[in-house]
Amino acid sequence: MNLDSWQQKLDGFRFAHPWVFLGLLIIPFLWVWLGKRKDAAAIGYSTLSLFGKLGKRHGGRDGWFSHLLMAASLCFLIGALARPQTGHSFTKVKASGIDILLVLDVSSSMLAEDFSIGGQRVNRLDAVKNVTEDFIENRKNDRMGIVAFAAKPYLVSPMTLDHDWLLKNLEEQVQINFQYDGTAIGSALSSAANRLKDSESESRIIVLLTDGTNNSGPVQPLTAAEAAEAIGIKVYTIGTGTRGVAPFPVYRQGRHVKDMFGRPAYDRVRVQFDEKTLEEIAATTGGQYYRATGSDSLKTIYDEIDQLEKTEVEVDQYERFDEWFPYLLIPGGILALIHLVLRYTLWRRLP
């Protein structure tokens, strides 16, 4: 057995009845008492000087060594009665998880740079992805998936408990969609509800984030909200973007245009989106509407949703103990047997 295995065993070591070690206190008194005990004479003599020339006994063979065997035997036996054990803990987690589908806007308007991370100005999508990562990592017991949308929705990740894989897809596949630009809120919500309708989870929610107004797709947002409500899906909606105007990078053919000095070119664009529709979607499904005007408020919104939709986790802990008393009982018994055999054979005292 290697050192690590022994260390693991010793980490859970205990005695079931440690009070038994109080019995060790009797050993010194027993040793003293046996040392002072004298056997009664079988025949009385007025003097023993006649036997002086017969030679001396060898220091009492049943003396200190006999007492040592007896004491060692008692130490082992008392240790066995204390029941040394090594414990192993087992934890079983039963999670009543929530199925959560994140629906993220990837239209070109999400390039507006009115958010910041660590004091650096970033676009809305980068800020959303940064906060979404924390949200995913905090929901370890929930199945989660991602749908992204611009002029039409597409699946980034199906419902999964593999959050590492989910985070990888969030980073790699949630990108601005220049090819199919637009904002299909109704179609995205309908697609997300359709993916959750067969879920057996007791709670199913959609977190829909957008910075625009529904202008694409065949499905109207309120129609999709009513369908989601009919199958028991709650929708939290988040409107993203500062109030007023925001710096927007100038893109042509998917490339950021530079000005005459070689610097990235920006336009000042007025932020507009349909808050009323987002409020109605949330109200129809029993969710809530939030407005995120910066990275801090966006994080606060995700934290609040995290608190509102808590997962019930039941933890059962079991302990199993291995008994080690035989490893003390056996040598203790052997020493006691050796003591008795020697006392009544080689060390037997004749009157």
Q: Which long-range contacts (CB under 8 A, 24 or more apart) does 59-62 make?
A: 61/346, 61/347, 62/342, 62/343, 62/347, 62/349
For residue 40, the model assigns a pLDDT of: 46
CB 127 within 8 A of CB 115: yes
∠ CA 136-137-139, rounded to 5°: 70
Q: What is the pLDDT of residues 132-165, one digit of tens each?
A: 999 999 888 889 999 999 999 999 999 998 999 9
Hey, is 79 helix, strand or coil? Answer: helix
User: CA-CA distance, 250 to 177, in Å (whole number)?
Assistant: 15
Model pLDDT for residues 224-249, shown as the tens digit of each residue: 999 999 999 999 999 998 878 888 88
- Structural domains of the chain sorted by starting position, each given as residue range(s) with its CATH number in brackets: 9-35+60-91+318-351 (no CATH), 98-310 (3.40.50.410)
pTM attached to this predicted model: 0.63
The answer to whether 135 and 306 have CB atoms below 8 angstroms apart is: yes
More confident residue, 107 or 50: 107
Share of the chain above pLDDT 90, in %: 39
> What are the φ and ψ backbone dihedral angles of 39, each rounded to 5 degrees?
-75, 145
β-pairing verdict for 13-15 and 255-256: unpaired
CB 139 within 8 A of CB 132: no
Q: First vs last Cα of the chain: how many Å apart?
A: 53
Per-residue exposure over 2-14, b if at least 16 CB sit within 10 Å of its own CB, e if not:
eeeeeeeeeeeee
